[in-house]
Structure 1
């Protein structure tokens, strides 16, 4: 009897050791991906693509590399479903990350250092190399368990999201290759959650990058007269400031979340007459301009905002003009607001909720993403797209110094995706938005 229990004890040790080894290997693969420097403006895309393809080959996924723009590869992986007539599932992620200020990091941002608490410090640990590798690890587990998807599952690793996605997801979504995929649902990135509930996003705010210009006659620095360029630009800035404060008050009071209001932030002010020693101090300039990063939710009245800009922020009566450096419509190509339904009319949302609940976790209230992601290019085609990054009890550190993700949270996220992918890939009914 003692020998029997001793044997059981040894077997339990072996299984626990194997599990630890498996977790260690999973984290090690994540570290290898994080150690590839894909920071803008010079991302090492080819090394990242090679790594992704090698991981795909290790679990027998079909892979191809598309290059809509030279030097910017899109890696597309495929797990064929048993019923290719059903619309497919697309798991999208981006390979680039934002730049870093190395001297402001506790640990080098591309070392993927793991500290004593299990926190993995690296640029991209939250945004969003974690998600790309979690997709792959979840599929690795599903394939090992013998699961066969009913629907085909695609994984896309796209470039340039951090600079707008125009040479990445935008061209991919507009390509013949994408049309052939017959995509029915897209998963993309979300945000970390500081509390117990995972966050999921059904829409995002559209970027309107606005430049307002004022002109006026130049004059002596001591002269008082109306309608100078500086006076007019300051009136516009004050009008924008009041609007911003009113929107921000809605957030501060808890009446709306950040993603539900129109945000306006001034990002530059250009005025004055330069000289070799600075600016000319006794000359009022004839031109001035200010730039604003405006973000518009799909629930906003686009026409009303356009009217406000033309009549209040940059009226022609004050010698004002304006232009958009970028303006993304809040409507899709069918004239509908660019958002994904989050009620029973959308089975993909219901399946997501059920898959998260199945592993004893919870989703928070559906949200509008406060910034922009590649998901917008798929929503603009009329496709449902959900932003989701499984990180709970985690500070939001995307684009921040000392970005990190705890390895336990990373491993838990793989379990979450395993449940979601299984639910999505097993869904039999055809759904159209």
Structure 2
């Protein structure tokens, strides 16, 4: 189990990692090498043999395997990403890469929640096991990854495609976006992710007839595209309840003392936020590009749409996009990842529940489906079932979802130590 030194190390490691600027601006613009080398040193000091792998210079990943006590048990993948989204220092109360700890015990900085705190917990846990001479039952593959904040081409996708042998024997994995405190109606709820909507980023293109802006033109590419984008933005997607969302609504309704109602989530209080974006497919227009001069009708126009697809909703999504775009606008996938769904009655899920309940007996762990996606998706073709479990204790009014990628990202030091206790207990008992 986690020793006293590990509770200091988890804070130290989080601060150190925050102070290493691993900003990922997309399009290949990122550098995780210093953070990867830091993680590799800490793993080696615990007796592991980390491997550092890069698809491109600076885009570094670290993978290390710890043999479990039961060689016949399936291995577990535990992964966290090292990159972070950009932070504009002028918008923050503190330097976003300072790792400052204030008088209230808050540790500030980009990545404090998403997800250098989890990276630090992984390092602190394995080092405490080395000091205490304990081993988990299952073999564990620890992976510290690049490029999650873009399309994972330099991180999990690269490793799964080109270094699948490193994950041999892994049947399940855990990573971000689960096990944190969510407050609703005076209750502490701990959502554990057992699904992700699929990613369906789209590019729309319209062709028309170029011409003078003063002339009538029924083949105006801008008008055609704008009409399609308006239809997509206004579309009401039908209800599609997956098994994970059904379990989430059922358990949340029971906690709030109401009957499950998928059309009206108001009875779930603040906890409605955990399920409202996962009951349907969605498609949100995000980018429009057309034209080059006010009096010239262009021949081409394009748009981008952020689509998300519930498990099993792919066929409906594609048919609906065909209809909404119509004959004058074409669409294609710019980036696509399948949806994920994991069992909520598995021994691993039960072990996650039990670890939270052990350290917060009045807490309520519940399953949920993520509206977005994580590094779990590229590992799915390797036969690895992904869960979201990066535990943190957070106070009321402290929005996990608002601070991840937000201004003034921070984490309570004691909440970080709670997370280490929970993660350590789960990994040793799973």
For Structure 1 versus Structure 2, the TM-score category normalised by the shorter chain is 0.7 to 0.9
Alignment-derived partner of residue 146 in structure 2? 159
Number of residues paired by the alignment? 387
Change (3 A) 1:205 1:177: closer
2:120 aligned residue = 133
**Cα gap change, 1:356/1:250 in structure 2, threshold over 3 Å: closer, same or farther?**
same
Structure 1 CA distance, aligned partners of 2:135 and 2:276?
A: 40
Q: Which runs of 5+ in 1 are unaligned?
A: 1-17, 331-337, 425-433
With over 3 angstroms needed to count, the CA separation of the structure-2 counterparts of 1:179 and 1:36, relative to structure 1, is closer
Q: Which residue number in structure 1 is paired with residue 307 of structure 2? A: 294
Q: What does the per-residue CA deviation read over 1:271-304, in whole Å, with 9 as the maximum and x for residues that have no partner?
A: 22x2xxxx32x3333322221111112142x112
Q: Which residue does 1:313 correspond to in 2?
A: 324
The answer to whether the aligner puts 1:242 opposite 2:230 as a matched pair is no
In structure 2, which of residues 315, 320, 338 is the aligned counterpart of residue 303 of structure 1? 315
Deviation at 1:418, TM superposition (A): 1.1
Is the 1:69–1:167 Cα contact (8 Å) retained in structure 2? yes
Q: Output the CA distance in 2 between the equivalents of 1:78 and 1:340.
A: 24
Residue 395 of structure 1: aligned partner? 399
2:278 maps to what in 1? 259
DSSP 3-state at the match of 2:112:
coil
How far apart are 1:234 and its partner, in Å? 2.3
For the residues of structure 2 that align with 1:137 and 1:373, how far apart are their CA atoms? Answer: 23
- Contact 2:281/2:317, CA 8 A, preserved across alignment: no
Alignment CA distance shift 1:68-1:251 (3 Å): farther
Is contact 1:79-1:153 (8 Å) kept?
yes
User: How far apart are 1:52 and its partner, in Å?
Assistant: 0.8
Task: Give the match for residue 252 of structure 2.
Answer: none
Say which SS state the counterpart of residue 278 (structure 2) adopts.
helix
Decide whether the 8 Å contact of 2:209 with 2:220 is kept in 1: yes
In the alignment, which of 89, 95, 100 is matched to residue 113 of structure 1? 100
Task: Measure how far apart 1:23 and its partner are.
Answer: 4.2
Q: Is the 8 A contact 2:393 2:416 kept in 1?
A: no
Greater C-alpha radius of gyration: 1
Query: In structure 2, what is the equivalent of residue 221 of structure 1?
Result: 213
1:53-202 aligned at under 5 Å gives the runs 53-178=40-165, 181-191=168-178, 192-195=180-183, 196-202=188-194
Q: Could you tell me the TM-score, scaled by structure 1's length?
A: 0.82
CA–CA separation in structure 1 for the residues paired with 2:285 and 2:195: 24
Structure 1 Cα separation of the partners of residues 196 and 367 of structure 2? 11
**Which residue is equivalent to 2:269?**
none
Distance in 2 of aligned mates of 1:271 and 1:250: 38
Q: Secondary structure at the match of 1:157?
A: strand
1:72–1:167 Cα contact (<8 Å) kept: yes
Moved more, 174-183 or 185-194: 174-183
Counting only pairs closer than 5 Å after superposition, residues 264-279 of structure 1 correspond to structure 2 as: 264-272=283-291, 274=292, 279=293
Match of 2:50, SS state, is strand
Match of 1:38 among 22, 41, 44: 22
- Per-residue displacement from partner, 1:86-117 (whole Å, max 9, x unpaired)? 22111111111111111111110111011111
Task: Decide whether the 8 Å contact of 1:259 with 1:369 is kept in 2.
Answer: yes
Contact conserved, 1:120 with 1:406, CA < 8 A, in 2? yes
Query: What's the TM-score once normalised by structure 2's chain length?
Result: 0.82
CA contact (8 A) 2:18 2:116 kept: yes
Question: Which residue of structure 1 lines up, in the alignment, with residue 428 of structure 2?
Answer: 422
Any idea what SS the aligned residue of 2:190 has? coil
**Aligned pair partner of 1:207 in 179, 199, 206:** 199
Specify whether residues 57 and 285 from structure 1 end up closer, same or farther in structure 2 by C-alpha distance, changes over 3 A only: closer
Q: Is the 8 A contact 1:244 1:264 kept in 2?
A: no
Q: Alignment partner of 1:367: what SS? A: strand
- Hey, what's the Cα distance between the residues in 2 that align with 1:143 and 1:353? 26
Matches of 1:244 and 1:103, distance apart in 2 = 39
Aligned-pair CA distance for 1:51: 1.1
CA drift at 1:76: 1.4
Distance 1:23 1:365, change over 3 A: closer
Going from structure 1 to structure 2, the CA distance change for 1:22 and 1:68 (only over 3 Å counts) comes to closer
Q: For 1:106 and 1:370, locate their aligned partners in 2 and report how far apart those are by CA, in whole Å.
A: 29
Contact 2:197 2:373 in 1 (8 A): yes
| 1:125 shift after superposition | 0.6
